[in-house]
Amino acid sequence: MSNKRPSAPRFRGGRRGMMLVLSSPSGAGKTTLSKRLINLHPDVVLSVSATTRAARPGEIDGEDYFFISKDEFETRIAGDGYYEHAKVFDHYYGTPVGPVEDALSDGRDVVFDIDWQGAQQLAKRAPRDVVRIFILPPSMKLLEDRLRKRGQDSEDVINSRMARAEAEISHWEEYDYVIVNEDFSGALEELEEILRAERLRRTRRPWLRRFVKDLMSERG
């Protein structure tokens, strides 16, 4: 009897990537977590947004953002070139479709560091590809301490950031997963567990159909 098994491709080429949307109030550790995840997993990439605002010192075009003109941005909106876009502080920001779609069909997962509004729009546009993860701080006190450490901001600025943080947190129930970032390594572990489990979803493994067909035909 032959013990040759039908081949079961595992990841690249064998599955469609997913869109991992990470939201949190600023200061809850989302950016550090997503950067670490990307460093650990070569098949996970970060979505680079396009914006019409000027690059800040140290920012790199194509890495931090794609810095483009207002005209170009509006042309791309008309051409349905964004999964979602928003106007923030008088500037456009958006998630370009092209690079994300290329990564997904190549079996790579794409991380989005965006707020609840972007998350909602992405989920509406690509419900089967999106996995939404919300990162919570262990306490508001800790969040405030982290925001204070970031710069010498006035009390007013801190208060308005805390109000924004509360507004962001109020959307936590719209997410598939919630991670409380009590300690970094624990939060990272949970994030990796989500990635692992979501990669195993039947719908992300289109080769299973063929695999099962081969299984069924094994006995002739």
Please give the residue ranges that form the binding site for ligand 5GP (CB under 6 A).
49, 53, 84, 86, 88, 93-95, 114-115, 117-118
In the complex, minimum distance from the CB of residue 90 to ligand 5GP, in angstroms, rounded to a whole number: 11
* Closest residue to ligand 5GP, based on beta-carbon distance: 49
In the complex with ligand 5GP, the residue whose CB is nearer, 80 or 200, is 80
In the complex, minimum distance from the CB of residue 39 to ligand 5GP, in angstroms, rounded to a whole number: 21
In the complex, minimum distance from the CB of residue 83 to ligand 5GP, in angstroms, rounded to a whole number: 8
In the complex, minimum distance from the CB of residue 13 to ligand 5GP, in angstroms, rounded to a whole number: 28
Alpha carbons 191 and 100: distance in angstroms, whole number: 20
In the complex, minimum distance from the CB of residue 164 to ligand 5GP, in angstroms, rounded to a whole number: 9
In the complex with ligand 5GP, the residue whose CB is nearer, 33 or 205, is 33
* Strand, helix or coil for residue 68: coil
In the complex with ligand 5GP, the residue whose CB is nearer, 15 or 25, is 25
The number of beta carbons lying within 10 Å of the beta carbon of residue 120 is 18
From residue 70, how far is each of 52, 78, 93, 96, 116 by CA, in Å?
A: 6, 12, 10, 15, 24
CB 28 within 8 A of CB 143: yes
From residue 89, how far is each of 51, 93, 107, 153 by CA, in Å?
A: 11, 10, 35, 19
In the complex with ligand 5GP, the residue whose CB is nearer, 32 or 117, is 117
In the complex with ligand 5GP, the residue whose CB is nearer, 90 or 173, is 90
Of 103, 83, 111, the C-alpha closest to 195 is 111
In the complex with ligand 5GP, the residue whose CB is nearer, 117 or 207, is 117
In the complex, minimum distance from the CB of residue 122 to ligand 5GP, in angstroms, rounded to a whole number: 9
